[in-house]
Amino acid sequence: MVKQPMRAKHCQLCQHCVRRYDHHCPWIENCVGEKNHPLFMVYLSVQLVVLLWGGHIAWSGLYFKQSWEWLRHNIFLLISFLLIVVFTIVVLLLLISHLYLISCNTTTWEFMSYHRISYLRHSELENPFDQGVIRNLWRFFCSCHLTAWEKIYFHRNNEPV
C-alpha cells in the first residue's frame, strides 16, 4: 500500500517497482527504467554495430555464380546473411523508435497505454513531460541525477524547472 511515484510502474514479470518504467525487455531479462535506459540504448547501438559488421563479413564471403554447386557450398553463409539482415532491421527499428520516444520524453509504457494512465489521461497537454527535443535528449543522455517528474508535471509556467 505504498504510494507509487509518478511515471513508475510495478513490473509483473520481475516483481519490482521501476522508476520511469519503459518496458520489460526479454533480451536482457530485466526492466528498462530511469537508471538503466541509457545503458539499454548503448546495448542497442552495440548490437547494431555488431550486426552490421557481421553482415559485412558474411557479404564479403559470398561470391555469386549461378549453379547448384555454388548454392550447396554457400547455403550456410547465405542463410546467415539473411538472418543478420532481419535482425539488423529489428534492432534498427527498435533503436529509432526509442530515440523518437526519448526525444519526446515519453516511455514505451506511456506511449502504448496513454489512455489507461491517469496522469496522462487527465492532462491538458498531449505529453506533460515534453520539454523540447534538445532538453529531452540532454536530460536523458547527459544528466546524472534522477528527475522529480512531479515538479515538471505540476509546473505550469514556460520557465525551465
Instruction: Residue 58: name the closest of 37, 77, 79 by CA.
Output: 77
Catalytic residue among 25, 31, 142, 144: 25
Average pLDDT for 153-157? 53
Neighbours of 32 (CB within 10 A): 26
Count Cα neighbours of 38 within 13 Å in the Cβ-side half-sphere: 13
Contact (CB, 8 A) for 31 and 38:
no
Mean pLDDT of 77-102: 94
Would you call 25 a catalytic residue per the annotation?
Answer: yes
Instruction: Read off the pLDDT of residues 105-124 as tens digits, 9 standing for 90 and up.
Output: 999 999 998 888 887 887 77
DSSP letters for 137-160: HHHHHT--SPP-HHHHHH--SSS-
Average pLDDT over every residue of 76-92: 93
Instruction: Please tell me whether residue 63 adopts helix, strand or coil conformation.
Output: coil
The three cell numbers locating residue 85:
539482415
Q: What is the mean pLDDT of residues 32-49?
A: 94
Phi, psi (deg, nearest 5) at residue 30: -160, 160
pTM: 0.79
Q: Check: CB of residue 84 under 8 Å from CB of residue 47.
A: no
Nearest to 105 by CA among 28, 157, 161: 161
Q: What distance in Å separates the CA atoms of residue 107 and residue 17, rounded to the nearest whole number?
A: 15
pLDDT in tens, 124-142: 777 888 889 999 999 898 8
Q: Taking the domains of the chain in order of start, what are their residue ranges?
A: 9-152
